[in-house]
Structure 1
Amino acid sequence: MTEVCVKICGLGTEATLDAALEAGADLVGFVHFPKSPRHVTLERGRDLARRARGRAERVVLLVDPDDTLLAAVIDALDPDVIQLHGKESPQRVASIRGRTGRPVMKAIGIAAAGDLVALPDYTAVADRLLLDAKPPPGADLPGGNGRSFDWDILRGALLPAGTMLSGGLDAENVGTALARTGLAAVDVSSGVEIRPGEKDPAKIAAFVAATRRRA
């Protein structure tokens, strides 16, 4: 079977970052979005990104960033990948990719089969797609809400290689999610937390182990 690519997102401490790296995570994510309980400052992000350099791909999650913020983030974290989790248009994704010279992962909110219509336009400009559950109405966060969508929506869909599944995943259900979607890349945040923003090293290890068993 294909090795499953695993991303642990929303890391904010050395201990939990080390737990993700030691468990074998392929990507580690740092959220720079003040509304999120997982938000890290640029200074904090700089330290964590340096700690992870060369050990995993370092992803910075941004929400509708302007050019000034992009420049500051690149300078501080020097990320390997930029994850866009807002309402960025395909044109804006292409602009960010060209401006920063970094691979871009674009998150797409999914609630119904009709949401898949947008995928080709983003496939053309992003290096990787991340399919996440649409947030509930009125939610402050575009992701990290611990919700999953109906994975059967993806049955028969033509998805680009590397498409990543997110939303409501944990060690108990990730095997089922992989089997039902046929995807080989997963992202987790709230599913490895004790409470919003507080990661649990044991849950991180269990999640990565569960994906490797599936692989």
Structure 2
Amino acid sequence: MPKTNLYRDVHMGQRARMFALAVELGAADMAEPGAAAEQSARCLAMTRELREHADHEDTFIHQLLRERAPEAADALDAEHVRLDAAFVALDDRARALPGTSPEALPEAQHALYLALNEVISAYLAHLHAEETVAMPALWQYASESELAAVYSAFKASRTPEQALGDLRGMLPALPPATRTAIMRGALGAAPAGRADGLLADIAGTLGPDQRRRLYDDLGVPEVAASR
């Protein structure tokens, strides 16, 4: 039976969204009305999401890590210092972008792009530490039932809207078998009459090939699932 991994799937979704944002920010046409405000909002939403994610990890995972593997917890705390500085720098540039004069906008766009990539660089190192240091330490020093309890406590803390957002942000970045297993569990836990709507909503976040594969793996006709 696979071990409970508290980081892998959500981190894959985060990587996909960060990479997409970097590409789209770099290529954005700032001459278009509202483009600067849109890109600013997207960058601010990203740092807000990453901060909230760090709070969730601290609440549900890292207390156990500090108890069982304090050296690993200390390493993650050091990563947070560098991350916080990168978040602040990105936020400052993002907030300034919409008010930038047209002639200064190309340089401001690129400066924001560089600040975003600095966040991505720092955050990738942080994810690597969690996945290659913290998670192995938890596997070594905590029981499978304790890890499963951590995951269950986090899921219980999420509102239906938050849980849906978690799935939408994560599933497109996962391999088909993992995506299907998570979706099967979500459908099984859905209130009566809500499963079809949940599946249709999640399917809307997937590419055509991903969507077709999910329906096939679940054994659900696509036309029925999208009603």
* TM-score scaled by length of structure 2: 0.28
Structure 1 or 2: more strand by fraction: 1
Structure 1 or 2: more helix by fraction: 2
* Higher Rg of the two aligned structures: 2
* TM-score scaled by length of structure 1: 0.29
- Structure with the larger RCO, 1 or 2 (CA within 8 Å, 6+ apart): 2
